[in-house]
Amino acid sequence: MNKRHALQALALATGALLGLQVTGCTEAKPAFNAVDMTGADYAKNFSLTDADGKVRTLADFKGKVVVLFFGYAQCPDVCPTTMSEMAQVKQQLGKDGDKLQVLFVTVDPERDTPVVMKAYMNAFDPGFVALIPTPEQLAAMAKDYKAYYKKVEGKTPTSYSMDHSAASYIYDTQGRLRLYARYGAGVAPMVADVQALIKQG
């Protein structure tokens, strides 16, 4: 190979390398705080009745970032803490707060009646939506979402508690599962993740 050919080969190699670097930059994924679930082949949808008796699916909330959480109204700690944090997240989003939809799926449909659920959601944010599955729907949804719940008997038949998963499932504005936020992650990291998903559109 003569000098001219060697220089051409070097120029081509350099150009290819720069092209790879540019491509790498343009396709870089955002760094989320929660666990990135992009491409997950489960928890794709649901069909549950809300506290007003209306059947809801993920498609109803297209255009919004959806945060879905499993819990129950008599939960002493995890549920009220999570809902309180989500109310703070919505507030800190400012004008983008209306692009966030929080869904609360009760794991205690026996006691969490529509009246109870409406009051519970209103205590945090009137825009939050409670979903009340039948026992059969709950079992199927928990299996699909790989979520856990179990009834723990109390001193009386109605004083039982519920063990349950404490994480939140976060969908982008197109209804695709994107993130899995563990309990106690904090308000600021959640705000950043929701903002990133809103920006992606």
- How many Cα neighbours within 13 Å face the side chain of 55? 5
Positive or negative, the CA dihedral 36, 167, 116, 126 is negative
**Whole-number Å distance between alpha carbons of 166 and 152:** 16
pLDDT per 10-residue tile (average), the chain, 201 residues? 50 45 52 93 96 97 97 95 97 97 97 97 97 97 95 88 94 96 93 96 80
* pLDDT for residue 18: 44
Q: Which two tokens stand for residue 80?
A: 């009220």
* pLDDT for residue 7: 45
* pLDDT for residue 157: 85
Q: Which two tokens stand for residue 155?
A: 């001193």
Query: What is the amino acid identity at position 165?
Result: S
* pLDDT for residue 31: 85
Q: Do the beta carbons of residue 49 and residue 132 sit within 8 Å? A: yes
**Whole-number Å distance between alpha carbons of 148 and 120:** 22
* pLDDT for residue 28: 57
* pLDDT for residue 159: 84
* pLDDT for residue 158: 84
